[in-house]
Amino acid sequence: MGDIVLDSVSRNFRRDGKDFLALDNVSFTVRDKEFVAVVGPSGCGKTTCLRMAAGLEFPSSGSVRVNGKEVRAPGPDRAVVFQQFALFPWKTVHENILFGLRSLGVGRNEAHERIAGSLKLMGLEGYESAYPHQLSGGMQQRVAIARAYVLEPDVLLMDEPFGALDAQTRTVMQEELLRVGRANPRTVMFITHAVEEAVYLADRVIVMTRRPGRIKETIDVKPTRDAERWQQYERIEDVMDLESFVHLRTRIWRLLREQHDPDIH
């Protein structure tokens, strides 16, 4: 069971001697094995929400719970994938993936089995001895995701994981993440600026206002996706032409545009 609950969360920061409110009374839940994308203007607090779920930051008021327990620190039930791949350049693919398992005290035989499964899941078989500099950006992010999956966390926290990739590689990685999610589902909180990416990947999309971040609207994607049988399509370009996809994308874009021009109604 892996759910994420933000309950009436606000977050104040102090910068240049002044206090400012980054998040204002934010409440939402990511249910067990649900994929929720969070979109919103820059500076609206999307990443702050994720970092609080990870135990890297803490609310000024309200509470953040994972698996029913208040988050007080990072934990093995949560794995984080950042935009920058954050791989150790002096370690091989195998050694990078092994690192987290060693910190958990996983035995050699079990670690070997879990790494083999994670490499297979991410299409990295045959790259075990490669170093990060020998891999493309997409392959490096596959390693970062494999390193997260190998820990067998209840929750995956992904902060714009494809933001540093070129457009073509990003599309391939979106398709791969959808495939991996079907094969090995996890509770996922996914931060992105890309509306099409959010609609393609998520069961629900949370749209936030500009700072101070609040929940503008929550869009339920999954019923539409199931009705249109999006899962029969293996490539994102086939999905993007569906009327349901275009409708959802346009709806979210309009909500975001209102944040840039508050006079639009």
Written out in words, the top-level CATH class of the domain with range 4-77+155-260 is alpha beta
pLDDT at residue 235 tops 80: no
The per-residue pLDDT for range 162-192, each reduced to its tens digit, is 988 888 888 888 888 888 888 889 999 999 9
What is d(CA 169, CA 236) in angstroms, rounded to the nearest whole number?
12
Report how many helices (DSSP H) and strands (DSSP E) the chain contains, helices first: 9, 10
The per-residue pLDDT for range 127-148, each reduced to its tens digit, is 999 999 999 988 999 999 999 9
The per-residue pLDDT for range 180-229, each reduced to its tens digit, is 888 889 999 999 999 999 999 999 999 999 989 999 999 999 777 665 55
Query: 201, 161 in Cβ contact below 8 A?
Result: no
Show me where the domains of the chain are located.
4-77+155-260, 85-152
Residue 46 is encoded by which pair of tokens? 């999307």
Q: Position of tokens 């999956």? A: 149
Structure-derived torsion over alpha carbons of residues 52, 151, 93, 113, reported in degrees to the nearest 10: -170
The per-residue pLDDT for range 34-47, each reduced to its tens digit, is 999 999 998 899 99
